[in-house]
Amino acid sequence: MKLKLTALALAAALAPVTAFAQGQNCNNRDAVVERLASKYGESRQSIGMAPKGRVVEVYASEETGTWTITVTMPNGITCLVASGQSFENLEEPVEPAGIRS
């Protein structure tokens, strides 16, 4: 599940910035993080850098199972990219390249 969320977050981060900015799902980062915490009980589960200085974060609540993927632009505006239910934090071992079971 975490791998799927990471792939979705990466795909979203590669989308044009103008598509995010035109939506109503963007605000300054502090406001977005506060809303995710207060309304959904979500906290940051992972973070990564995307092209053009964007920061991709996955927020989730292990208690409620909700999750949200955000992208923060270099100007500090954070946009909601995707959200859903049934979040699970997986710790799957990585197989060396070329080895398949």
47 in a structural domain? yes
Determine the structural domain holding residue 68 and report its residue range.
2-84
77 in a structural domain? yes
In the chain, the number of structural domains is 1
pLDDT, position 8: 47
Regarding predicted confidence, which is higher, 92 or 8?
92
Query: How confident is the model over 57-78, as pLDDT tens digits?
Result: 999 999 999 999 999 999 999 9
- What's the rounded mean pLDDT across residues 15-41? 78
95 in a structural domain? no
75 in a structural domain? yes
Query: How confident is the model over 47-62, as pLDDT tens digits?
Result: 999 999 999 999 999 9
pLDDT, position 18: 43
55 in a structural domain? yes
- What's the rounded mean pLDDT across residues 82-88? 92
70 in a structural domain? yes
Regarding predicted confidence, which is higher, 44 or 9?
44
101 in a structural domain? no
User: What contacts 24+ positions apart, CB below 8 Å, involve 18-27?
Assistant: 20/71, 20/73, 20/79, 20/81, 21/73, 21/77, 21/79, 23/79, 25/79, 25/80, 26/77, 26/78, 26/79, 26/80, 27/77, 27/78
94 in a structural domain? no
